[in-house]
Amino acid sequence: MVIEPTTALYIASGFLGFSRYSAAAKAAQREAGLTARRLKTQAEQRQLQQLQEHNEVMENLQSMESTNLALAGISGRDTGSDKSFNRILEKAKEDAYKTASRVNLQNLMDQSKIAQQTQMALLQGQNKSKAYRMMGFQSVLNTAYGVSKVT
């Protein structure tokens, strides 16, 4: 059986379209994967930043405690029974714990947001990939229909 040149071109065009859509589907999946990996790296960086902020708050508290003890020693006051030094220290601890809690809460919200963005990127990649595959199959079906009309 000899295929007419027009029919052969029609078939080749359909399969090239299918191939192009298949490549686009794979590219959409790769793009989603890259976005997910970038977001994972961003989450890890945010986690490290939160740890650094927490350590800074704790270092500031330690510095405050040391300064408080030094002042008490210089003034000759007893840090165990002196209410003003104890209140200063209590206030510094309260502030440090509030700040550390705020930093931790912000980190949890950021991690949740990034996890949601990651899932959304992967889902969008899957949806694009499916759409391109469907367009590829549609290209094949259109080719088959067109060939049936030509012959």
DSSP sequence for 38-89:
HHHHHHHHHHHHHHHHHHHHHHHHHHHHHHHHHHHHHHT--TTT-HHHHHHH
| Residue of 148 and 52 predicted with greater confidence | 52
Averaged pLDDT for residues 133-148: 90
Distance CA 93, CA 95 (A): 5
For residue 86, give every residue at least 6 positions away whose Cβ sits within 8 Å of its Cβ, in sequence order, or none: 79
Averaged pLDDT for residues 22-50: 95
* pTM of the full structure: 0.72
Could you tell me what percent of the chain has a pLDDT over 70? 97
Q: Where are the domains of the chain?
A: 5-150
Q: What is the pLDDT of residue 18?
A: 92
| 5-150 classified as CATH 1.10.3110 | no
Q: What is the pLDDT of residue 1?
A: 66
Residue 141: HSE in the Cβ half-sphere, 13 Å Cα cutoff: 6
Read off the pLDDT of residues 62-113 as tens digits, 9 standing for 90 and up.
998 888 888 877 777 776 677 787 888 899 999 999 999 999 999 999 999 9
Give the chain's mean pLDDT.
Answer: 90
> Residue 76 region, left (φ>0) first, then alpha (ψ -120 to 50), else beta?
left
For the four alpha carbons of 19, 25, 31 and 34, in that order, the dihedral sign comes to negative
pLDDT of residue 31 exceeding 90, the answer is yes
